[in-house]
Amino acid sequence: MLEQITSLILTYNEAPNINRTLEKLNWVSRIVVIDSYSTDETLEIISSYPQVEVFKRKFDTHANQWNYGLEQVTTEWVLSLDADYVLTDELINEITTLPVNTSIDGYFAKFKYCVFGKPLRGTILPPREILFRKDKAIYIDDGHTQILGNKGKSDQLSAYIYHDDRKPLSRWLWAQDRYMILESKKLLATPNHELSLGDRIRKKKILAPLIILVYCLILKGGILDGWHGCYYTFQRVLAEILLSIHIIEAEKLKH
């Protein structure tokens, strides 16, 4: 199984994160990095890992970037990771002991969200399909992010990935503003009956930030994580406020 896995990572100015991600991939013989012309020390850090091969591509959409990356993979299996994902030892052990001959074509992994390295009790991040057969999958744009279209059968891994983004707040705000412009366009262009309950609530503008505040702080136990949990909660509330502002702006500009 190990010989049939290539890891795929997208980067753009990920110097605060990429080293921790790559340190947990020393068991992978080849890592493909698609870089969107980073201007910080990302490429310098990556160059110290001999199994990494870098391809540069100007970013247009997440799906196009990921699909370009898939074209560079020659193995049967792809381990697709963001540059702020850190594999746990338990997950590495689970992946490396998967059977070679299996009817499963993809595996989802759950997340533990970290704030300055501390894992939180809960997160709003859904599981993501990180390991899959290349010939069964293609990425599709979905609002500010992407989804993996897997034509085969999927299963769930039991161990976790740490989502540990340590980029500064200014970079987070820059990214969230871009993401929420795309997300608002998706919500406004999609009929209500095709939206999930959560997205219908987000489209109402006022309710979503208040619901996220209660959900993260109380239902997900953020208040028990001290200031780390409050920090995560405030981030998520701020992201929803940005989305609400962009929806209002888009609606008003149409008239």
pLDDT at position 26 over 90? yes
Instruction: Please state, in angstroms and rounded to a whole number, the distance separating the CA atoms of residues 91 and 161.
Output: 7
Task: List pLDDT tens digits, range 27-56.
Answer: 999 999 999 999 999 999 999 999 999 999
CA 53 to chain centre: 21
CATH class of the domain comprising 2-163: alpha beta
pTM, to two decimals: 0.91
Residues 44 and 107 sit within 8 Å (Cβ to Cβ): no
β-pairing, 154-163 with 85-87? antiparallel
Per-residue pLDDT at 70: 98
User: pLDDT band at 144, cuts 50/70/90?
Assistant: confident
Instruction: Please state, in angstroms and rounded to a whole number, the distance separating the CA atoms of residues 136 and 49.
Output: 29
Q: Which residue has the tokens 């987000």?
A: 202
Residues 112 and 162 sit within 8 Å (Cβ to Cβ): yes
**In 3D, which of 179, 151, 183, 165 has the Cα closest to residue 84?**
165
Task: List pLDDT tens digits, range 66-121.
Answer: 999 999 999 999 999 999 999 999 999 999 999 988 999 999 999 999 999 999 99
Instruction: Please state, in angstroms and rounded to a whole number, the distance separating the CA atoms of residues 14 and 106.
Output: 27
pLDDT at position 255 over 70? no
Q: Domain boundaries in the chain?
A: 2-163, 169-253
Q: φ and ψ at 86, to 5 degrees? A: -125, 115
Instruction: Please state, in angstroms and rounded to a whole number, the distance separating the CA atoms of residues 97 and 111.
Output: 20
CA separation (Å) from 50 to 22, 30, 32, 47, 95? 11, 9, 11, 7, 22
Q: Which residue has the tokens 């599709």?
A: 140
Task: List pLDDT tens digits, range 158-183.
Answer: 999 999 999 999 999 999 999 999 99
Task: List pLDDT tens digits, range 128-143.
Answer: 999 999 999 999 988 8
Residues 28 and 6 sit within 8 Å (Cβ to Cβ): yes
